[in-house]
Amino acid sequence: MLLDADGVLQHGTVGWTEALSPWFTPAEAEAFMAEAWEAEKAPLAGEGDFLDVLDRMLLARGRRAQGERLHEAVWRSLHADPGSMALVAALRAHGYGVHLGSNQERNRAAHMDRTFGYPDLFDTACYSYLLGVAKPDPEYFRRCLERIGAPAHEVLFVDDREDNVESARSVGLPALHWDLGRGHDELLRGLAEHGVVLDV
């Protein structure tokens, strides 16, 4: 199993407009986040430090360089979903290898590992910054398979974005499009259709 993080295992605890309120008005926050999402692409692929990027973005807008504080307020505002954590435990109890497949820059990934104990929950972490390429690039999945050490047809991928799911399928991984809003019963049915039956 290769599981995405955001939308599958975890979700944000506060809206980004609210989280950015110490720095920006709602209109300013929208423009800032649009630029930040674009600027994050390089760190997601392991190029540069996103905290430095945030510092530069704040300074360019006449704000203090508080990239660390802003990152904590917006990007680290996370909650691990209990149902998904129970599912991971059940998969492992049934003998399945369970791997984390997520687009993350190094600072947010480190926070997730510390806060949620992901290194103990997953056999392999396929963070995009470690692989040097991000979803939905098909190369991301090829590098995941190398890291996991399994053929594509043996690795079932779950992600909340259709483009990522289609990319995974293009390199031979069976894949499910699912997010937390659909409920875990739907996910369990999808897993069962791929031969993964769990008593949870």
80-121 pLDDT, tens digit per residue, is: 999 999 999 999 999 999 999 999 999 999 999 999 999 999
Distance CA 193, CA 42 (A): 37
Q: How many CA atoms lie within 13 A of 31 on its CB side?
A: 8
Angle at 89 between CA 87 and CA 95, to 5 degrees: 105
Mean pLDDT across the chain, nearest whole number? 96
pTM of the model: 0.95
Per residue in 18-47, pLDDT (tens digit) is 999 999 999 999 999 999 999 999 999 999
- Please count the residues of the chain: 200
Asked if 129 and 158 touch (Cβ cutoff 8 Å), the reply is: no
Identify the band that residue 198 occupies on the pLDDT scale cut at 50, 70 and 90.
confident
Amino acid in position 132 = G
Asked if 49 and 43 touch (Cβ cutoff 8 Å), the reply is: yes
- What is the predicted pLDDT for the residue at 159? 98
- What is the predicted pLDDT for the residue at 136? 98
Phi, psi torsion values for 173, nearest 5 degrees: -80, 135
Q: Does residue 177 sit in helix, strand or coil?
A: strand
Tokens of 7: 């939308």
Tokens of 15: 């809206």
- What is the predicted pLDDT for the residue at 200? 67
Going from N- to C-terminal start, the domains of the chain cover: 2-11+79-193, 12-74
12 DSSP 8-state letter: E
Mean pLDDT, range 162-166, rounded to an integer: 98
Mean pLDDT, range 55-77, rounded to an integer: 95
**Within a 10 A sphere around the Cβ of 193, how many other Cβ atoms?**
11
Asked if 3 and 101 touch (Cβ cutoff 8 Å), the reply is: yes
Which CATH architecture does the domain made up of 2-11+79-193 adopt?
3-Layer(aba) Sandwich (3.40)
Identify the band that residue 199 occupies on the pLDDT scale cut at 50, 70 and 90.
confident
Crossing angle for the helix pair 162-170 and 138-148, to the nearest 10 degrees: 60
Q: Does residue 107 sit in helix, strand or coil?
A: helix
